[in-house]
């Protein structure tokens, strides 16, 4: 019955000439497909996507195409007939994109992406259209994320189109606009979610930072803090002194969503210290979180004094901001405060406003408030040594971690970790506070979810389950970044039971998904390939994506492996504890693009891993219950093996029993250079004198491959190969050393030594020159010194 009634709708869409006829036809199609997966497949195969996109492009007046319809639509209004047509077309594209990964290819082939982006600009489109276009775009991005590793869906191509300069301007216009209405708040959340899910490349992150998107997101974050009343007292008074009061944002409505703002900020900053500094130096952030010295009253200071009297710790009063006193007092050993993280950026305080700050309270405050204002002063007062004072944004994020729940808590910890890893903050004070106030909270949240994980019995995922999945997927990765290279934080995680928790998470990630996760909706017709299917790209559905449950387990693998690697990098007892949890078998499966059931060494066949090229993830013998491991899982698995191999006992027992040398050797020839880098780093410990796998790798010809990598143009691969060769040639016979030198070429070694020496000398010379210029030039910022300019030009 459905087939007989479908063609008239398509005929109406193709033959409609007026806006009213187009609206009627599109609405009829929408009513037919919404919530009906089989109908979507039938209509897509009939080629309905291309006419929808054509109607969407045609229903735009020349004035709106050129952006000349006035200004941004600040308030809801009734839409015109042509806008109604576009609205129906956008809703249809959003519905098709929500159908899954198979619809992404025909949607993109029909030219839907440029058509959607043309409706994103808030200046030339009604708010309803902008919201619907953003939702359709987000649906495409989310469906693309479920693509299998061998899928032709190219997420990077999506990012290239979305983050083009003209579209970044549209996204920034939404983020920097008003947020008084529910529609505007929805648009802001959609834009932030698109950035979080799509922005992975350095060039895109830099483009968003340089196009004021980072600053707009920072202003949103500051507005939320203002709305919650979390503003440094007397920030407005000192803002008048420092001319930052104009940047004081209006309070954000209580209904604003904090999660996408925090996640988008962390995504754009990534591992860049420069972009982290851009966030902290954003005018809105500096306006509400100024670096003011806070002299607390006796009542506020009492908990800290009690710790000092009891000999449990000492925290210098001048190192704490007003925001720190909203947090529990923590014991800090005095020795840990002897040094602080060095900063290569100027202090966030304003040193030239000292005298004006002293008179600010008397100028803008009453006599009664002078006593209160005297408790706040800009850092860097005369008679006191100046030090880099951390921004109060950091303790505020800690406060969010402790007071918020679920994903809000997680995203606050994510941004907090990004700033801490970038070197902003008092290292020893923050290490202690993170270890006592943040790590236990995150570990407890993870343990609670592991104790009662969400149960999924169908391909459909509800919002509560999706939220719990996000916590399980993201928490270990955030903890991994937080504790890396920090013995204190590694011990805090270990004491909170991180070994058992991370091990269980990895084991759960290798539980095969049930057949019900692949289940399709029942149809009265047999699946005969659809006689109406066409070979045209706009009519042919792409391959099915991963079931959401399988995609969740794959993401858990990556996150758990990162956490295991970060903790195993610490003490030997941590590494042995992981081995006692029997996770080596699961780590070994993470070294395979097509994993299977983890098994004990005695159950494994000697030749289960052939020595040939790395198999494709779409191999025919692939067990669908375990999915395919993407490159990110392979890299994380290599890193986990590298950390475990630091223990000689593990290197000589467990890693030998599971034959980790075989997959790592094959990864040395992997077509992806990032996998080669990770495998080469893991090989370093496997070719040492104490490793039983040294001879096996030597017989396979690892020396020749490492010599080839030592000639690579990739600096990271070259460095790891040289480290591995250094370990390999130690204590070998003279003939093997001679062969290695001939393969490596002595001239190439000399060139590497000279290049590194020249680079170090040039860096030191430039650093010395910059310091001297800072002394010579002083406050003259109009241009470079003539001598400096000549030196710089000569160094080029």
Instruction: Give Rg (Cα) of the chain.
Output: 30
The alpha carbon dihedral of 222, 315, 238, 369 has a sign of positive
Is 520 in contact with 545 (CB distance < 8 Å)?
no
Measure the CA dihedral 19/20/22/25, to 10°: 170
Instruction: Please tell me the number of Cα atoms within 13 Å of 517 on its side-chain side.
Output: 20
Q: What is the pLDDT of residues 306-344, one digit of tens each?
A: 777 766 665 555 567 788 888 888 877 555 444 444 444
Contact 377, 385 (CB under 8 A): no
Angle between helices 258-269 and 273-280 (to 10 degrees): 140
Phi/psi of residue 382, each to 5°? -65, 145
CB 245 within 8 A of CB 287: yes
Which residues are paired to 376 by β-bridges? Answer: 294
DSSP string, 686-736: HTSTT-THHHHHHHHTHHHHHHHHHT-S-HHHHHHHHHHHHHHHTT--HHH
User: 631 with 675: CB under 8 angstroms?
Assistant: yes
What's the CA gap between 697 and 356, in Å, rounded? 69
Three-state secondary-structure class, residue 100 = coil
pTM for this entry: 0.85
Angle between helices 37-45 and 81-97 (to 10 degrees): 110
Q: 125 Cβ partners below 8 Å, 6+ apart?
A: 64, 73, 119, 133
Token readout for 211 is: 């196009």
C-alpha 502 chain-centroid distance: 20
What per-residue confidence (pLDDT) applies to 520? 62
Q: Six-digit token pair at 463?
A: 């919002």
Residues 6+ apart with CB under 8 A from 672: 631
Q: From CA 717, how far away is CA 738, in angstroms rounded?
A: 23
Distance, in Å, from the CA atom of 493 to the CA atom of 443, rounded to the nearest integer, reads 8
How many Å apart are CA 386 and CA 319, to the nearest integer? 11
Other beta carbons less than 10 A from residue 582's beta carbon: 13
Residues of the chain with pLDDT under 70: 1-7, 60-77, 239, 296-297, 304, 310-319, 333-388, 457-458, 517-535, 603-624, 756-796
- Per the CB < 8 A criterion, the answer to whether 525 and 438 are in contact is no
The neighbour count for residue 327, using CB atoms within 10 Å, is 16
d(CA 308, CA 310): 5
Nearest alpha-carbon partner for 122 in 134, 136, 112: 134
Which residues fall within 8 angstroms of residue 662, CB to CB, at 6 or more apart?
A: 609, 611
- pLDDT of amino acid 768: 55
Task: Return the number of other C-beta atoms located less than 10 Å from residue 521's C-beta.
Answer: 8
DSSP for 468-521, please give it.
HHHHHHHHHHHHHHHHTT-HHHHHHHHHTTHHHHHHHHHHHHTSPPPGGGG---
Say if residues 425 and 482 touch (Cβ distance below 8 Å). Answer: no
> What pLDDT, on the 0 to 100 scale, is given for residue 778?
42
How far, CA to CA in Å, does 156 sit from each of 105, 171, 202, 473? Answer: 14, 18, 12, 22
Q: How far apart are CA 498 and CA 447, in angstroms?
A: 9
618 forms beta bridges with none
- Number of Cβ within 10 Å of residue 415's Cβ equals 26
Residue 436 is classified by DSSP as I
Tokens of 508: 């759960």
Give the span between the Cα atoms of 672 and 662, in whole angstroms: 18
Strand partners, 292: 378
Could you tell me the two tokens for 368?
Answer: 């009664």
CB 310 within 8 A of CB 300: no
For residue 391, CA distances in Å to 239, 284, 318, 398, 777 come to 15, 13, 13, 12, 28
> What are the C-alpha distances in Å from 510 to residues 3, 69, 618, 729?
42, 55, 18, 38
Q: Per residue in 112-140, pLDDT tens?
A: 999 999 999 999 899 999 999 999 999 99
pLDDT of residue 492: 95
* CA angle (454, 459, 464) in 5-degree steps: 35
Both tokens of residue 359?
């008179």
> What is the rounded distance in angstroms from the CA atom of residue 70 to the CA atom of residue 102?
39
d(CA 734, CA 736): 5
């Amino acid at each position: 019955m459905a087939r007989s009634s479908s063609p008239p709708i398509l005929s109406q869409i193709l033959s409609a000439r007026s806006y009213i006829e187009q609206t009627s036809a599109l609405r009829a199609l929408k009513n037919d497909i919404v919530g009906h997966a089989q109908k979507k497949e039938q209509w897509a195969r009939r080629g309905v996507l291309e006419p929808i996109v054509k109607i969407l492009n045609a229903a735009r007046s020349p004035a709106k195409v050129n952006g000349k319809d006035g200004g941004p639509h600040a308030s809801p209004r009734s839409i015109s007939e042509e806008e109604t047509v576009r609205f129906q077309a956008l809703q249809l594209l959003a519905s098709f994109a929500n159908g899954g990964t198979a619809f992404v290819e025909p949607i993109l082939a029909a030219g839907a992406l440029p058509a959607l982006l043309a409706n994103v600009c808030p200046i030339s489109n009604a708010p309803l259209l902008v919201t619907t276009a953003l939702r359709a775009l987000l649906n495409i991005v989310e469906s693309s994320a479920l693509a299998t590793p061998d899928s032709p869906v190219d997420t990077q191509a999506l990012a290239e189109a979305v983050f083009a300069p003209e579209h970044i301007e549209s996204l920034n216009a939404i983020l920097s606009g008003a947020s008084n209405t529910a529609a505007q708040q929805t648009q802001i959340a959609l834009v932030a979610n698109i950035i979080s899910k799509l922005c992975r490349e350095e060039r895109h992150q830099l483009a968003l930072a340089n196009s004021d998107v980072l600053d707009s997101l920072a202003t949103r974050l500051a507005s939320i803090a203002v709305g919650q009343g979390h503003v440094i007292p007397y920030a407005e008074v000192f803002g008048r002194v420092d001319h930052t009061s104009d940047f004081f944002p209006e309070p954000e409505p209580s209904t604003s969503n904090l999660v996408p703002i925090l996640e988008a900020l962390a995504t754009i900053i990534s591992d860049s210290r420069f972009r982290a500094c851009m966030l902290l130096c954003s005018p809105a952030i500096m306006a509400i979180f100024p670096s003011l010295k806070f002299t607390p009253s006796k009542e506020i200071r009492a908990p800290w004094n009690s710790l000092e009297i009891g000999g449990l710790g000492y925290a210098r009063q001048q190192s704490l901001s007003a925001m720190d006193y909203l947090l529990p007092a923590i014991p800090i050993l005095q020795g840990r405060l002897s040094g602080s993280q060095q900063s290569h950026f100027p202090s966030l305080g304003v040193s030239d406003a000292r005298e004006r700050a002293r008179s600010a309270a008397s100028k803008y405050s009453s006599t009664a408030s002078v006593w209160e204002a005297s408790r706040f002063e800009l850092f860097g007062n005369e008679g006191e040594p100046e030090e880099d004072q951390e921004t109060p944004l950091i303790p505020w994020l800690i406060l969010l971690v402790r007071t918020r729940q679920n994903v809000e808590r997680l995203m606050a910890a994510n941004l907090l970790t990004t700033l801490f890893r970038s070197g902003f903050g008092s290292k020893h004070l923050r290490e202690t506070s993170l270890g006592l106030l943040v790590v236990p909270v995150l570990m407890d949240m993870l343990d609670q979810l592991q104790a009662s994980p969400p149960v999924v019995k169908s391909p459909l995922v509800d919002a509560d389950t999706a939220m719990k999945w996000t916590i399980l997927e993201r928490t270990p990765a955030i903890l991994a970044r937080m504790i890396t290279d920090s013995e204190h934080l590694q011990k805090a995680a270990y004491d909170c039971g991180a070994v058992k928790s991370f091990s269980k998470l990895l084991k759960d990630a290798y539980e095969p998904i049930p057949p019900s996760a692949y289940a399709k909706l029942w149809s009265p017709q047999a699946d005969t390939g659809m006689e109406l299917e066409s070979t045209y790209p706009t009519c042919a559905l792409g391959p099915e994506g991963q079931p959401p449950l399988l995609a969740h387990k794959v993401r858990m693998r990556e996150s758990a492996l990162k956490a295991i690697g970060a903790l195993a990098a610490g003490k030997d007892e941590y590494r042995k504890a992981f081995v006692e949890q029997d996770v080596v078998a699961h780590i070994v499966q993470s070294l395979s693009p097509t994993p299977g059931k983890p098994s004990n060494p005695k159950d494994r066949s000697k030749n289960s891993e052939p020595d040939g090229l790395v198999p494709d993830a779409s191999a025919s013998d692939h067990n669908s219950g375990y999915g395919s491991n993407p490159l990110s899982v392979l890299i994380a698995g290599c890193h986990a093996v590298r950390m475990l191999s630091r223990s000689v006992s593990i290197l000589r027992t467990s890693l030998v029993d599971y034959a980790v040398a075989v997959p790592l050797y094959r990864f040395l020839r992997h077509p992806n250079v990032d996998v080669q880098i990770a495998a080469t780093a893991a090989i370093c410990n496997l070719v040492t004198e104490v490793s039983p796998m040294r001879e096996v790798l030597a017989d396979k010809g690892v020396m020749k491959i490492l010599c080839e990598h030592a000639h690579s143009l990739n600096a990271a691969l070259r460095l790891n190969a040289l480290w591995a060769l250094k370990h390999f040639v130690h204590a070998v016979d003279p003939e093997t050393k001679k062969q290695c030198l001939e393969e490596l070429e002595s001239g190439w070694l000399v060139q590497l030594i000279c290049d590194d020496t020249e680079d170090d000398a040039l860096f030191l010379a430039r650093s010395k020159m910059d310091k001297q210029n800072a002394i010579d030039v002083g406050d003259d910022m109009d241009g470079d010194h003539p001598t400096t300019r000549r030196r710089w030009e000569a160094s080029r």
